[in-house]
Amino acid sequence: MNLMKNFLNKYLIKTVLVSGLTIGLSSCTKNFVELNTNPDAVAASTPQFIFSKAQYDGTTNMLNLLLGTMQYTTSYNDVAGFGSKYIQSQSNASSGAFSSAYPNEINEIGEVIKAVTGDASKVNLLAEARIWRVYCFSRLTDLYGDIPYSQAGQGYNSSIYTPVYDAQKDIYANMLAELDASAASLDAAKTTFGASDLIYGGNTTQWKKFAYSLMLRLGMRMTKVDAAAAQTWVTKAIAGGVITADADIAKVAYVGSGQDINKNPLALTLLNSDYIKANGSSNTEGGKYQDVFINYLKTNKDPRLATISVVYTTGTADTTSANQKGMPATLSARPTDFVTYSEPRQNTLLLLSSPRLVFTAAESYFLLSEAALRGWYSGATVTASYQNGISAAMRQWAIIAGAPGTITTSQITAYANAHQLNTAGTFAQQMQQIYTQFWVGIFPDAQEVFATYRRTGYPALVPNNYPGNATGGLIFRRMLYPVSEQNLNSASYKAAIARQGADDFLTRIWWDKP
């Protein structure tokens, strides 16, 4: 009897449990999809939103350590001063642009292209995304040489997690073809990104100028490695029409408030690292302008000096040119007169609401002056383009900072007259003049100056042979790949260095020939 009772009890318990489980499972499957769907998620990407983010990220990802390398700034702090000192222990800082680009702007612009491809009504969206993709990749390959390109950003779409590194020669060929095709496909009668386009608001005429300006830049990169191809692309760009008017400058606007993404990224970085207190002394990372830059501006009576530089010896911002002083890059400790050295001016270079210039009229004019010098451009003389470059470079500070950045017409004329191009000089001498003015005029885009410096050798900067440096006292030729690539993408990484050369600061990339 007791045995039967125990059996029945166990059976009833098991039955209840199974019944309860069945009911529970039935309850769980009811509205399963609805309950497990994120109400804030979207089924398809919105290319307009992603395009804005890709523009922000592509503009933010500029290697600011090159401000020191191109001898605009420095620091007595070895870590913060890596760009001007090349400290071996801080070498991995150079991989930052690579690590940031792929999960951000490269991935984002790829998603935009994927979303708009195949829709004839969105031809402008596709063209502008392709042009921006070229801009982002060009900046990246010019820092590292061979990089993942054809298979980049395909982890989600094609399960490619170890993309091959394409040869820079092939990357350039594809980028130039992309610019050519994209510029030709732009159609003013069709839909644009509109307000989601932070650079031109969807203006197709201006996007075409930007495309041809990038073509001019990339074409001129190849002067030493393939002069015939360089001439072909440069003349095509000029015929297409490049940026020469201030109104057509490619720039990303910022509001200067709210989240950090809405603030000028260079100004934000410099303020947070050094200049937020604006007293000339409480500079956390020990940063100041470098003496090479300030001395050049002072010696040449450059009106931009007062526009971009201040000292705080009296506790207030002093823009008097005679009082500006740059700090040597050789210092390894805070000098006792630290407060007397010049630093960026708060309401011009450090203005959070200022636009970030992506491609300027000044750059076009300086490149056109070289094209004229080579006999590739007959639309203006070498002298006229050179003078226009100087003028445009000074005018753009009013675009950056408004009234505090304004340099008067008489100041511009006086400087231009005092710095006439020596047309009787040799090719090298004229190139030196053009690209020394380029160095001054394109500031603070040190990354573009770095590329042009490697190609032309100008300005004739003297390297800083600082103790413990990673380059033997020479200025970089390229940046280092991230260590993560050696571990996670080993085969592709090894193939790249076997083709290009050692993953070293002094290895020259494809277009960088002696």
Does a structural domain hold residue 268? yes
Tens of pLDDT along 438-491? 999 999 999 999 999 999 999 999 999 999 999 999 999 999 999 999 999 999
Do 177 and 97 fall into the same domain? yes
* pLDDT (0 to 100) of residue 105: 97
Tell me the C-alpha distance between 334 and 318, whole Å: 21
Do 193 and 95 fall into the same domain? yes
Tens of pLDDT along 351-396? 999 999 999 999 999 999 999 999 999 999 999 999 999 999 999 9
280: left (phi over 0), alpha (psi -120 to 50) or beta: left
Angle (CA) 324 329 335, round 5°: 70
Do 179 and 269 fall into the same domain? no
Tell me the C-alpha distance between 44 and 8, whole Å: 57
Do 103 and 193 fall into the same domain? yes
Does a structural domain hold residue 368? no
Are the C-beta atoms of residues 386 and 278 closer than 8 Å to each other?
no
* pLDDT (0 to 100) of residue 17: 33
Do 54 and 159 fall into the same domain? yes
Tell me the C-alpha distance between 105 and 343, whole Å: 31
Q: What share of the chain is helix, strand, coil (3-state, %, to 5)?
A: 55, 5, 40
Q: At how many degrees (to 10) do helices 361-373 and 204-221 cross?
A: 40
Average pLDDT of the segment spanning 408-429: 98
Do 155 and 293 fall into the same domain? no
Q: What's the Cα-to-Cα distance from 376 to each of 243, 382, 436, rounded to whole Å?
A: 17, 11, 21
Beta-strand runs (E) in 336-382: 343-344, 356-359
The band of 39, judged by pLDDT with boundaries at 50, 70 and 90, is low
Does a structural domain hold residue 392? no
Tell me the C-alpha distance between 307 and 290, whole Å: 16
- Domain holding 498, by residue range, is 46-197+477-508
Do 193 and 62 fall into the same domain? yes
Mean pLDDT rounded to a whole number for the chain: 92
Does a structural domain hold residue 119? yes
**67: which 2 tokens?**
């401000």
Do 171 and 293 fall into the same domain? no
Tell me the C-alpha distance between 322 and 419, whole Å: 20
Does a structural domain hold residue 416? no
Tell me the C-alpha distance between 143 and 257, whole Å: 31
Does a structural domain hold residue 104? yes
Tell me the C-alpha distance between 410 and 235, whole Å: 34
Average pLDDT of the segment spanning 121-127: 98
Average pLDDT of the segment spanning 174-193: 98
**CATH code for the domain in which residue 481 is found:** 1.25.40.390
Q: How many CB atoms lie under 10 A from the CB of residue 171?
A: 24
The DSSP line for 323-340 is: G--PBPTT--S--TTGGG
Domain boundary among 320, 344, 368: 344
Do 165 and 270 fall into the same domain? no
The band of 344, judged by pLDDT with boundaries at 50, 70 and 90, is very high
Q: Which of 166, 205, 210 is nearest to 189 (CA)?
A: 205
Do 181 and 62 fall into the same domain? yes
Asked whether residue 163 carries a pLDDT value surpassing 80, the answer given is yes
Residues with Cβ within 8 Å of residue 11, at least 6 apart in sequence? none
Do 56 and 193 fall into the same domain? yes
Domain boundary among 344, 373, 404: 344
Domains held by the chain: number: 2
494/154: higher pLDDT:
494
Tell me the C-alpha distance between 221 and 227, whole Å: 10
Domain boundary among 323, 344, 365: 344
Does a structural domain hold residue 187? yes
Does a structural domain hold residue 281? yes
Q: Which of 203, 44, 237 is nearest to 124 (CA)?
A: 203
Secondary structure letter of residue 89 according to DSSP: G
Give me the residue label for tokens 């993404």. Answer: 261
Q: Is the dihedral of CA 281, 287, 291, 293 positive or negative?
A: negative
The band of 31, judged by pLDDT with boundaries at 50, 70 and 90, is low
**CA within 13 Å, CB half, 497:** 17
* pLDDT (0 to 100) of residue 476: 96
Q: What's the Cα-to-Cα distance from 15 to each of 2, 8, 22, 80, rounded to whole Å?
A: 20, 10, 10, 71
Give me the residue label for tokens 């506790």. Answer: 315
The band of 9, judged by pLDDT with boundaries at 50, 70 and 90, is very low
* pLDDT (0 to 100) of residue 157: 81
Tell me the C-alpha distance between 504 and 472, whole Å: 12
| pTM for this predicted structure | 0.92
Are the C-beta atoms of residues 506 and 474 closer than 8 Å to each other?
yes
Which amino acid is located at 170 in the chain?
Answer: D
Are the C-beta atoms of residues 300 and 329 closer than 8 Å to each other?
no
* pLDDT (0 to 100) of residue 453: 98
* pLDDT (0 to 100) of residue 62: 79
Tell me the C-alpha distance between 346 and 280, whole Å: 11
Secondary structure letter of residue 258 according to DSSP: S
Do 187 and 266 fall into the same domain? no
* pLDDT (0 to 100) of residue 13: 37
